[in-house]
Amino acid sequence: MSAAAKKAIETGKIWTFPGGIHPPERKELSNHSPIGQLALAATYVVPIKQHTGAPGEICVAVDERVLRGQPLTQSTTGQGLPVHAPTSGTVTAIGPGRIAHPSGMADIVIRIRADGEDESVPQQGLTDYTQVSRAELLDSIRLAGIAGLGGAGFPTAQKLALQRPIDYLIINGVECEPYISADDRLMREHAESIIDGAEILLHLAGCNKGLVAIEDNKPEAIAAMQDVLQQHPHFSLRVVPTKYPSGGEKQLIQLLTGRQVPSRGLPIDIGLIMQNVGTAYAVSRAIRHGEALTERVVTVTGEAVAKPGNYWVRIGTPVAHVLQQTGFQAQDNEQRIIMGGPMMGFTLPDVDVPIVKISNCLLVPSTTELAPAQQEMPCIRCGACSDVCPAELLPQQLQWLAKAKDHEGLEKQNLFDCIECGACAYVCPSEIPLVHYYRKAKAEIRNIAREKAKAEIARERFEARNERLEREKEQRLERHRKAAEARKKAQQEQVKSGGDNPQDAVQAAIARAKARKAAQQKAADEQASSNDEDNA
């Protein structure tokens, strides 16, 4: 980053990003009460993969007793992220189970029957993390199972391990999605720990400037954080105007620095790294207290719950337990259970799926507050979607192309720069589920690319095999040719040296055989003539 660019950032300027929308925020439904605790559930379901990347290997067995914070998986490569037992109890089953995923797909889960003791593994924290090597600190964060809690679920240590120059660490407390107030409450109640975690992250990032961003609709959180930040000169607070999706990584970077992350690139490509406030908090807990990530703040909200608010929920808690504890009452058969917010969340087919590391909200709306989608009408090309697209795409063009399966056209229109924020579908007067079409098209294109890559590999293998066979055949022929030559040569040498020519032996044998045949013929002839005489 150039000096001029840094100077502009230092002035505290807030840039802007194109598009964006102002949906009803509805945060007051859940942000008034302090973060509550839920009673322990009877069983927990811990999916072994809750982050972006490969899962670890399971290191517990059925019927084994586990303690809270005990790793259930471990990584042999030192890259994967472990998951931990959310409470003490017994492993009852390991196998496929439904997980929280838009497709409702199944993955390997570990089921634990809680024993109610809630006994933890012994924990050991660090008072001075600067005395510990960088690698060791990163390993502690990895072993605590920390992945980005803002929604992406990218392993935090892995993000920090990239040894590249970083100008700014951005701590994201924007929380722009309507209804959700988990980060808001966390900042109000645990500002100290969040900033402590942010200092650790800053130390690991190897830079000395941090920006803490909060949307201006959270005055209490801003006050709490500001209070703590006074003792932390490396950090400065940036209050951004309320507009969805200002909390999106790319949009927030544009707001705070006026720069754009290159297409298909990472923030680190322009010297930036971003972490969510919840992640910073988890890092502080992991380093200071040696706590593994076994719980997170979840906003439970919507008019269909009696006690909306924020709760500390153990990772692996079945959604059913959370809803039962908060007084959920299904309104009608149009009832939706949304994991995440109203803009980017996905509906759950049933409530047996567990809360995972990236689950920041459970939204159970009544049909009056969030009316179900109406029937899709034809696009009238009104362009309302392009006016609100923060990525400056042309959503309606993408929609036509996606429906026509014009994959080349979609790539030309930069489909893969779509962040799926849903602003376009929110304003669409024809209620076209635009994001749904984009996701489908992206999946199709990825599948085709994968198939193509597979076919390419198969083709390469096939060609390599053909080549090898050809080569072997030639080698064989060559060998035979050489052997024949060698034989011939040996014969000639034998002849030269006056020894028996093997060819002579063959000739002799043929001559012998001929003589024998002639003798037999002769005998037979004689026999025949004597017989004739007898008959006569």
Partner 1 sequence: MTFKLAASPHSHQRRTTKQVMRWVYLALVPGLLTIIYFFGWGVIWQLMLAVITAWVAEALCMKLRGRPIESAWHDHTALVTAILLGISIPGFAPWWIIVIGTAFSIIIVKHVYGGVGMNIFNPAMAGYVVLLISFPVQMTSWPLPVQLSQIDLSFFDSAVLIFTGYTPSGYDLEQLRMGADGMTMATPLDSLRTALNHEMTIDEALQQPIFGSIAGLGWQWVNAAFLLGGLVLLKVRVINWHIPVGMLLGLAVPAALAWMFSPDQSVSPVMHLFSGATMLGAFFIATDPVTAATSNRGRLYFGLLIGFLVFAIRTWGGYPDAVAFAVLLANMTVPVIDKYTQPVAYGHGEKS
Our finding on whether 330 is near partner 1 (CB under 8 A) is yes
Assign 134 to helix, strand or coil.
Answer: helix
Residues shown for the chain? 536
- Residues in contact with 531: Cβ distance below 8 Å, sequence separation at least 6, in sequence order: none
The window from 82-90, 378-386, 479-487, 516-524 that contacts partner 1 (CB under 8 A) reads 378-386
Pick between residue 356 and residue 435 the one whose CB is nearest to partner 1: 435
- Is 176 annotated as ligand-binding? no
Q: Give the span between the Cα atoms of 77 and 28, in whole angstroms.
A: 45
Our finding on whether 335 is near partner 1 (CB under 8 A) is yes
Our finding on whether 404 is near partner 1 (CB under 8 A) is no
- Residues in contact with 26: Cβ distance below 8 Å, sequence separation at least 6, in sequence order: 178, 179, 301, 369
Residues 54, 105, 380, 524: which binds partner 1 (CB under 8 A)? 380
Q: Give the span between the Cα atoms of 352 and 344, in whole angstroms.
A: 21
Q: Give the span between the Cα atoms of 308 and 328, in whole angstroms.
A: 9
Assign 512 to helix, strand or coil.
Answer: helix
- Is 379 annotated as ligand-binding? yes
Our finding on whether 106 is near partner 1 (CB under 8 A) is no
Our finding on whether 336 is near partner 1 (CB under 8 A) is yes
Our finding on whether 377 is near partner 1 (CB under 8 A) is yes
Q: Which run of H or of E encompasses 486?
A: helix 434-496
CB neighbourhood size of 271 (10 A): 17
Our finding on whether 345 is near partner 1 (CB under 8 A) is yes
- Is 361 annotated as ligand-binding? no
Q: Give the shortest CB-377-to-partner 1 separation in angstroms.
A: 6
Residues 265, 327, 499, 502: which binds partner 1 (CB under 8 A)? 265
Nearest C-alpha neighbor of 144 from the set 264, 296, 39: 296
Our finding on whether 344 is near partner 1 (CB under 8 A) is yes
Q: Give the span between the Cα atoms of 362 and 346, in whole angstroms.
A: 10
Our finding on whether 436 is near partner 1 (CB under 8 A) is yes
Q: Give the span between the Cα atoms of 75 and 224, in whole angstroms.
A: 38
Q: Give the shortest CB-355-to-partner 1 separation in angstroms.
A: 16
Contacts to partner 1 from residues 356-375, by CB under 8 A: 363, 365, 370-375
Nearest C-alpha neighbor of 226 from the set 217, 243, 239: 239
Pick between residue 148 and residue 248 the one whose CB is nearest to partner 1: 248
Phi-psi map region of 191: left, alpha, beta (phi>0 left; psi -120 to 50 alpha) = alpha
Pick between residue 219 and residue 262 the one whose CB is nearest to partner 1: 262
Going from the C-alpha of 106 to that of each of 101, 109, 322, the distances in angstroms are 9, 9, 21
Residues 101, 209, 232, 259: which binds partner 1 (CB under 8 A)? 259
Our finding on whether 348 is near partner 1 (CB under 8 A) is yes
- Residues 267-306, one symbol each (x = binds partner 1 by CB under 8 A, - = not), give ---x------------------------------------
Binding residues: 379, 382, 385, 389, 418, 421, 424, 428
Binding residues for [4Fe-4S] cluster: 379, 382, 385, 389, 418, 421, 424, 428
